Structure 1
Amino acid sequence: MIRILVGARMALSLVPALATVLGLSLATLASGQEAYPTRPITIVVPVGAGGSTDSLARALAEHMGRKLGQPVLIENRPGAGATLGAAQMVSTKPDGYTLTMVPLGVFRMPYLSKVQYDPMKDLTYIASVSNFTYAIAVPAESKWKDLAQLIADVKASPDRFSYAGSALYTSNHLLMAELGRVAGLKWTFVPYKGDAEAITALLGGHVQIVSATTTVLPFVESGKVRVLAVGGAEPSPYFLGVPTLKQLGYNVEMLSPLGIGGPAGLPAAVVTKLDRTIREIVEDPAFAKQANQLGMELAYRDHRAYTAWTQATFVAEKTIIKRLAGE
């Protein structure tokens, strides 16, 4: 046994320091929390590996790991309309060590099929990271130089024109369905497995119009495709000079943010730390460069703003889906 003896004066001088240490220890024990994080964090990505969403998640995880001082791992769980991450949060311990990427489908799928989660009760929304840009495009050799010309022709010949997009009830589809409703158009949606197939159909003359993400950008740059409008709240930096639908007088906006969420009941201190970390990463030029290379627009919303957006979006999705299903 090793004993350390100190003089009375030294012992008295240590009393304040010991009290501080004991106070902190007792506070930590009382809260039941350690300094977060003390071990690796996992982010569930509800899509397959290799795509732009997965690549963005991996870049985010790399930056988070450096800032938080712990590895941040990616677990891909594709399927069920990209909702398996949200479903996993139902049975996940709310300690901040298992999170999920949250795509728009989390708020749409409950109106399309039975899901194993309630988006308003089972998740904590930490922050949004990026946003998909949806473009309405036509072949470059077509006669349509702007959206007004295209809409005039569609109105003049109901049911003659068709547009391609990636699968039924995706944002590509809903953007065009809403435009058709607002503008009074009768056109046909032709679903494909993804943007690449939809663009191929456009270039092959199988459809006259395509609704796609920035996947279409290389074809714009090569002079094969012309973008007439974008569906975001603001003009896209990827399609310079192209107006939004709202700027053209059509009250249609299709936002599709990607955010980070966790299980319900996530401690406020954990949410705050993760939110602050994500904000710092989004503001980092190195991360912005990576996102730009993936064709992803950064769109940060803090915990409160993102939570409010999810609540409003869940209500709006019900209206859109019910209206579309009734047509």
Structure 2
Amino acid sequence: MILKKIALTGLTSAALALTGMQAHAQASGYPAKTITLIVPFSAGGGADNAARIFAQGMEAVSGQPVVVENKAGASGSIGAGQVARAAPDGYTVLFDASSFTLNPVLRKLPYDPKKDFVPVSQAIVVPNILVVAPGSPFQTLGDLIKAAKAAPNDLTYASYGPGSLAQMAAELLKKEAGIEMVHVPYKGGAPAMVDVMAGHVGAYFANAASSLNYVTTDRLRALAVTSTKRMPELPNVPTVAEAGIKDFSVYEWNGLFVPGGTPDAVVQKLYEIVKAALARPDITEKLARLGLTPVGSSPAEFAAFLAAEDARWREVVKANNISLD
């Protein structure tokens, strides 16, 4: 019996050693073939545009092709689900957005974000701009809040879909300012922007990358930005915090994830590729044209960021009794 236990222990140790050697060998040669970035949104959107810039930088750094594939649907959960089921070898990578932390708070998902994915790096951030029509009576965020308090639920706000960050930013404002507004969801940012410009909807927390040009050409009026500091492109537009809502900050972001079970060494190599790609001047210049700020956080830093986002949005959903059912 003792000899049998010793033999089993030896076999277990040998198996673990072999597994470790295989993982090390896999990482030492990574990447050895094409990396596929799965973008869980349609082509031409903010995440897709950022991913294609990123792919160029990753190719230059890794020496391997990096292909972008769009798998849109169900607020990003279809593409995320595909990556969750992929081989954990670092060659199928999810390039997701803020919906990664919003979906678990608002929807039942066919995967567990905490168990089925390993965070690699938060790639970029971009603030939102609270915009109204050029002919709107609101000149400041204070004007909007005053009107909303005087006539609860008379003011409408747009979003690019139920559960989107545009909706959640407005819900956070409602919570912090103690006001009521009516949500008007659209099937995308473009139709939402058109109706705000026409004055059909009162306000909209628009992605800076897609709305900045409309603001600088006076087709939209910016009341505030959701960043912690003023945007260099809009130096005269205050932050929401400066306008009176203390500690308010909301950013849309993109980040990279791999399937759960991917070896730590592969995750680290992929992170190093991301970080090196973001250090390239040609990549940072292209991102800057879209109003995107590089981050390049480590896997541990990204995991901490995701946990904080999850906690914050759960609090907002509970306080405002938000439901997508």
Q: Which TM-score band (shorter chain)?
A: 0.7 to 0.9
Aligned equivalent of 1:10: none
Q: Is the 8 A contact 2:124 2:296 kept in 1?
A: yes
State the AA in 2 paired with 1:54.
Answer: D
Aligned equivalent of 2:184: 190
- Could you tell me how far apart the structure 1 residues matched to 2:23 and 2:261 are? 18
Alignment of 1:19-30 (within 5 A): none
Alignment of 1:122-133 (within 5 A): 122-133=116-127
Q: Deviations over 1:107-154 (max 9, x none)?
A: 222232221111111111111111232111122333433211222222
Aligned equivalent of 1:318: 314
Q: Which runs of 5+ in 2 are unaligned?
A: 1-19
Q: Is the 8 A contact 2:171 2:316 kept in 1?
A: no
State the AA in 1 paired with 2:257.
Answer: G
Q: Deviations over 1:48-68 (max 9, x none)?
A: 222231121112112111211
State the AA in 1 paired with 2:211.
Answer: V
Q: Is the 8 A contact 2:81 2:111 kept in 1?
A: yes
Q: Deviations over 1:54-112 (max 9, x none)?
A: 12111211211121111111121111211233222332222111111121212222232
> What SS does structure 1 have at the residue aligned with 2:76?
coil
Q: Is the 8 A contact 1:141 1:224 kept in 2?
A: no
- Could you tell me how far apart the structure 1 residues matched to 2:23 and 2:178 are? 62
State the AA in 2 paired with 1:87.
Answer: G
Q: Deviations over 1:215-242 (max 9, x none)?
A: 2222212212211111223333343332
> What SS does structure 2 have at the residue aligned with 1:132?
strand
Aligned equivalent of 1:260: 256
Aligned equivalent of 1:81: 75
Alignment of 1:232-251 (within 5 A): 232-251=227-246
Q: Is the 8 A contact 1:99 1:262 kept in 2?
A: yes
Q: Is the 8 A contact 1:195 1:212 kept in 2?
A: yes
Are 1:92 and 2:86 an aligned pair? yes
Q: Is the 8 A contact 1:132 1:213 kept in 2?
A: yes
Q: Is the 8 A contact 1:120 1:311 kept in 2?
A: no
Aligned equivalent of 2:225: 230
- Could you tell me how far apart the structure 1 residues matched to 2:22 and 2:172 are? 54
Aligned equivalent of 1:104: 98
1:297: how far off? 2.9
Aligned equivalent of 2:56: 62
Q: Deviations over 1:234-285 (max 9, x none)?
A: 3333433322222333143222210011011222222222212211222222
- Could you tell me how far apart the structure 2 residues matched to 1:161 and 1:31 are? 58
When normalised by structure 1's length, the TM-score is: 0.85
- Could you tell me how far apart the structure 2 residues matched to 1:30 and 1:241 are? 53
Alignment of 1:4-15 (within 5 A): none
State the AA in 2 paired with 1:239.
Answer: L
Alignment of 1:24-39 (within 5 A): 31-33=24-26, 34-39=28-33
State the AA in 2 paired with 1:285.
Answer: P
> What SS does structure 1 have at the residue aligned with 2:135?
coil
State the AA in 2 paired with 1:293.
Answer: R
Are 1:42 and 2:36 an aligned pair? yes
Alignment of 1:142-291 (within 5 A): 142-214=136-208, 215-251=210-246, 252-291=248-287
State the AA in 2 paired with 1:124.
Answer: V
Q: Is the 8 A contact 1:281 1:287 kept in 2?
A: yes
Cα distance change on mapping 1:232 and 1:100 into 2, 3 Å: same
Q: Is the 8 A contact 2:131 2:204 kept in 1?
A: yes
Are 1:72 and 2:96 an aligned pair? no
Q: Is the 8 A contact 1:257 1:299 kept in 2?
A: no
1:309: how far off? 0.8
Cα distance change on mapping 1:275 and 1:234 into 2, 3 Å: farther
Aligned equivalent of 1:114: 108
- Could you tell me how far apart the structure 1 residues matched to 2:137 and 2:315 are? 35
Q: 1:292 aligns with which of 288, 291, 296?
A: 288
- Could you tell me how far apart the structure 2 residues matched to 1:126 and 1:31 are? 18
Aligned equivalent of 1:6: none
When normalised by structure 2's length, the TM-score is: 0.85
Aligned residue pair count: 301
1:29: how far off? 6.3
Cα distance change on mapping 1:69 and 1:30 into 2, 3 Å: closer
Q: Is the 8 A contact 1:61 1:72 kept in 2?
A: yes
